[in-house]
Every structure is written in C-alpha cells, then in structure tokens.
Structure 1
Amino acid sequence: MSNQSSEPFPSSIISTINPYEKLKIVYDPATDSLTRNSQNKTWIRIFRPSQSQKIQLLPLIIYFHGGGFIQFHANSTVFHNFCKSMADQLSVMVISVEYRPAPENRLPAAYEDALESLIWVKNQALDTVNGEPWLRNYVDFSKCFVMGSSAGGNIAYNCCLSASELDLEPIKICGLILNQPHFGGVERTDSELRLVNDDRVPLVVNDLLWELALPIGVNRDHAYCNPFVDENLERKLRFIRRCLVACSKGDPLVDRDIKFAKMLGGKCVEVMSLVAESGFHGMTHTDPNKAEELFKAVKDFIFSEN
C-alpha cells in the first residue's frame, strides 16, 4: 500500500521496526480498514472540577485526543484520566470529543467532526432552557479554548482554521492550545533523522500514520499535514489570535513544532511556547511531572487572557 511519494531514508539511516507491529494494527487493503486493539468509543465526554461550585462560571476547553489519527477514543483510559486531571487542576470545564478514525475515514473527516463539536457547543450556549445542564450551569461561553494532543493538536488547529468561516456566537474562541502537535512534510527534519528509531514515534511509524490518514493520492506536503503550504492561511487565522505550543526536544516532531510556533508568531498571532529540554512524545499522558508542567502553562495561558 502506498498513496504518497516520500523521500527514502538516507543511506546512513536504518530502521528494523515493523510499524504495524509497533502500532498493534492489521491493515486490510481490500477495504482500506484496520483491525485495532480497541473498538469501543463514545461521541463526547464532559468533565468538571471535583470541587466546582456554581458561584463563578468556568472557562471551557474543547479537547481532541491523540493517537496518530487511527487509534484511541475520547473514552480511552489515558485520555479520560488526562482530561479529569486537567479539569481538577485548572478549575476548568473540559469537553473531550470523539472523531472518526482513519483510514476508514480519512482526513478531513476528523476535522469535520471537530467543527461539528464547536457547532454543538454553540447550540448548547443558545439553548438556555434545554441545553446540556453541566454546560449551562458551569461554563462561561465567552471563554472557550480549543486544545489537542499529538494528532489531536493537528485536528484542533485545522478545526480553528475551518471555524474562521463560521458565526459561532455566542461562544468565543479565546485561544488554541497545542500539545506536541502532529505535523509533517516530505522533507525530513533533523529531529526526525536524529530520532529515527525513537521508541514512541519512529520514522517508519510516522510515515505509516500519514499514509493511513491523508486522502489517497496526496503526499505529506498536503496542507492537512504540512501547515507551511497553506496559501490561504492569512485569512483562516481569524480565530487564532493566541496560541500555546508545547513540545519536547526528545520528540521526533519537535523541529516542526518549533518552526510552526515561529510561523504563527510571524503572522501576528500571540504565541506562548513551552519547549521541554527532555521528554518524549506523549509524555504528558504518562508522566505526572510532565503533565503538571503542561497544566501550569495552560493555566497561565487561559487565565492571562484579556
């Protein structure tokens, strides 16, 4: 199976990793589908702080989980626990959104689902009688933030670009929060080559994830993957005036994330960057100390907003 051209590994780079075994998936080319280790899913989960009281309305984070576009769900334990901790530690409301996985539903399907979630939140804000009680009773809809981890960061970003075409009143998107967002491109970066056999996202796995996620027939220099090739970016950035980008120097994706943050900063977006000197891809979901560092940055980002 191959739906895109890609540069071969440099002759000095050797990988013995089987990406299908690494991801614990089986691909059926006849149906363009995967057999996964988990099929259970739910459309949306809502989290509120354990100690919350209806004295002051809370900011809302609309969250998209990671998994390389092909794995996990909003109710997967690792993301359930992450969102619960975030709601408690930041004193915010969190909505964790399910989206259709690739390759059965290739991009832009996940972006469309993400956009639908924003419209759903808007409808809840408009329905002051029959809207979701937890949102009606606890959320300040003028303080909404879109957030995603890894592939979810890519989805969050592209969702906000698409939302520039919509009227979302009365909700207000006050910022974008990207935790180790998953971007790509045909040309290899130094961090990808340096960490070619990374334990979390080796280069062969990264290649496979994009091959399964992108529309058939395009390469990794498509705008869904490579944010630097979007010719209409200036117009689409209407909803992204502030952005937090968190990444780690131990992540193969770090070079792209740093370059992405610099690109936004050059387009009049207020950017806050958190670059960890050590760590790995997905570290905030398995390392409590890394999660605490991220939550502190997110809290500063949310509550410093004017």
Structure 2
Amino acid sequence: MESEMLYDLSPVVRLYKDGRVERLEGTEIVPPSLDEKTGVQSKDVVISSDSAVSARLYIPKAAICSLRKLPILVYYHGGGFIVQTAWSPAYHNYLNALVAEANVIAVSINYRKAPEAPLPAAYDDSWTALKWVASHSAGNGPEEWLNSHANLKKVFLAGDSAGANIINNMGIRFGEEKLSGIEVPGVMMVHPYFWGNEPLPSETTDPMKRSFAVMFWHAASPATTGCDDPLINPAMDPRLSGLSWKKVLVCVAGKDMLRHRGWYYKEILSKSGWSGVVEEMESPGEDHDFHLFNPNCDNAVKLMKRLVCFMNEVK
C-alpha cells in the first residue's frame, strides 16, 4: 500500500506521512578537486562528528605557498533547509569561481537537513561551524589551511535563500553569545528566504503560491508557530536590533517571489534601532538563485563582482 503524501512540494521534494522523503532536485554531488580553470583547491573536513556537521574548504592553490593571510568566507547553501548540499555541483562551481575572484579561503558548510533533522538543527550546525572557524584564532585549530593561511579578523558570511536566512539567525546568536576569536566585518545575503502570514505591498497574493511557501516552511520546521515565526519573519523578532553584523548586503532578484521580503528586511533593519549599515542590490529580470544555474550571464557576473567588491572594501 502506497504511503499517503504529507507535502507535495514538486518540483523540489515530496514528503510522505510514513517519513519517506523523495528529493527531486539537489541530490547530485561532486568530489573536492583542484579546479584547473580557477586554480582553486578544495577538500572536505568533518567539523563535528557528534552532529554530522562537515564542510568543503576552498583555497587558491597559489596561497598555499604564500605567507599572506587571506580573509575567510563562511558560506551557507540554500535549498529551503530541505534540499541541496555543500557538495552540489552548482555550489561547488560557484565557490570555485568566487574564491578565485575574491582571493579568499571559503568554508562551505554542510548542515543537517529537514525533515530528517528539522529546524533548529540547521541553525545549530551553522553555529557549531562558526565556532569551529573561531577555534583557529590562536593558530592551533584542527585545520592547517586556516591555521597557516587565514585572517580571522576578516571573516565574511554569505549564503543564498535558506543560507541567507541562516545568516540572520547567526547574527542574532552572535550578539547574544559573544563568540570570540573572529571578527565579522560584513555579511552577504543573496535572495534571502523570509516570509510572513500577511502579504507585503506588491507581494503575490496568489493562494497557490502562498500555500506552497507555507507548506515548505512547515516541512522544514514542524514545531513552528507559522510564517510569522521570527525565524522566517524577522519583522516579528524583538531581538533584531541586536543583530551583531556591522554591514549587511542584501541581494534580490527582480522576478523572485521572495524579492519583496529582501527589500523589507532592509527596511525593518533600518527602523529597528540596529546600528549597522545595510546595502541592497537588485538583479532585474532574474529569478531566485539564477546566478547558481546561469553563472555566466551578465547579471550573474555583476552579482559576483558586487560580492567581491563587498569583501575587498574592508582594508
């Protein structure tokens, strides 16, 4: 007898009442490598065997023989907390290109996914990973690339979609728990995954689209109070003014259903009493995560340049 479906989130994933998960995308993986096109070397590391947190590290090969310390980019992948991994081809290729262009060391986090590990597992894993990076501040951490080649006074965070949502959550937690050992001059949130019960002005009111968004969030966070949960709707978070990031770049795409939430995040940050600086970039005519799947198009090249400039602006 076939199991009854709990959430049909096609074309992304189907979840069944017996616990079975049928991921329809984001399952392909590629191994770490020396990428000949970019000259970037990558390898996989285990961050915490307790919670199965791991990461893919990227470094320009030329940096391995250099005494110069490079900034760190901690990257959180997207996928609605349910699909994709740090080993997905789109992320692997994008990080190779970004690392080469910005001349940084990247730590691409592979956190546990829902529904097998519902939220807050992804947040907890992302925090564990940040603490792991900070453990290299004295030059005697578990990873030699970070000990020898990383500047922990320049740690940037970036993420797309759910990864951008994670960055907001990390900013609140960083402010509350005062993680020492690293300095974060800025974060980059690309097409952030935020939502809310009530439509924003100009946001879609299409019942099917809004229902899909609600189901996706409930699939990732079964214990949620709904789409006004502060984890998905930062406007409802009284702690937002305590966001510890000094500088935030929010990037949105013109055709993305989540575009309005990105603009709204800038607005609520500015009004919250938060003391940092927020910048925005829009890619006209593009849809969600377009840069990962069409990295050579003009708007993807412009987005890449903006991210690189953001990191290079810090002297």
TM-score (norm 1): 0.84
1:170 pairs with 2:186: no
RMSD: 2.5
Match of 1:240 in 2: 245
CA contact 1:50–1:88 (8 Å) conserved in 2: no
Amino acid in the other structure paired with 1:272 = E
1:225 pairs with 2:254: no
1:109 pairs with 2:111: no
CA contact 1:112–1:159 (8 Å) conserved in 2: no
Provide closer, same or farther for how the CA distance between residues 26 and 143 of structure 1 changes in structure 2, counting only shifts above 3 A.
Answer: same
C-alpha distance in 2, partners of 1:184/1:196? 14
CA contact 2:74–2:155 (8 Å) conserved in 1: yes
Alignment of 1:288-303 (within 5 A): 288-289=296-297, 290-303=299-312
Compute the displacement of 1:273 (Å): 0.8
Aligned residues: 283
Unaligned 5+ segments in structure 1 are: 4-17
CA contact 1:191–1:252 (8 Å) conserved in 2: no
Greater share of strand residues, 1 or 2?
A: 2
CA contact 1:119–1:168 (8 Å) conserved in 2: yes
Deviations 1:132-168 (A, max 9, x none): 1111222110000111100110012101211212343
TM-score (norm 2): 0.82
C-alpha distance in 2, partners of 1:39/1:103? 19
Sequence identity (%): 27
Provide closer, same or farther for how the CA distance between residues 90 and 39 of structure 1 changes in structure 2, counting only shifts above 3 A.
Answer: closer
Compute the displacement of 1:130 (Å): 5.4
Match of 1:253 in 2: 258
CA contact 2:81–2:220 (8 Å) conserved in 1: yes
Amino acid in the other structure paired with 2:240 = L
CA contact 1:146–1:177 (8 Å) conserved in 2: yes
Match of 1:10 in 2: none
C-alpha distance in 2, partners of 1:209/1:277? 26
Deviations 1:250-270 (A, max 9, x none): 111011100101222333320
Compute the displacement of 1:240 (Å): 1.2
Deviations 1:102-131 (A, max 9, x none): 1222221111111001110111223x2453
Range with greater deviation from structure 2 (67-76 or 132-141): 132-141
Match of 2:16 in 1: 28
Deviations 1:149-191 (A, max 9, x none): 0011001210121121234332111111100010000112355
Match of 2:60 in 1: 49
1:185 pairs with 2:229: no
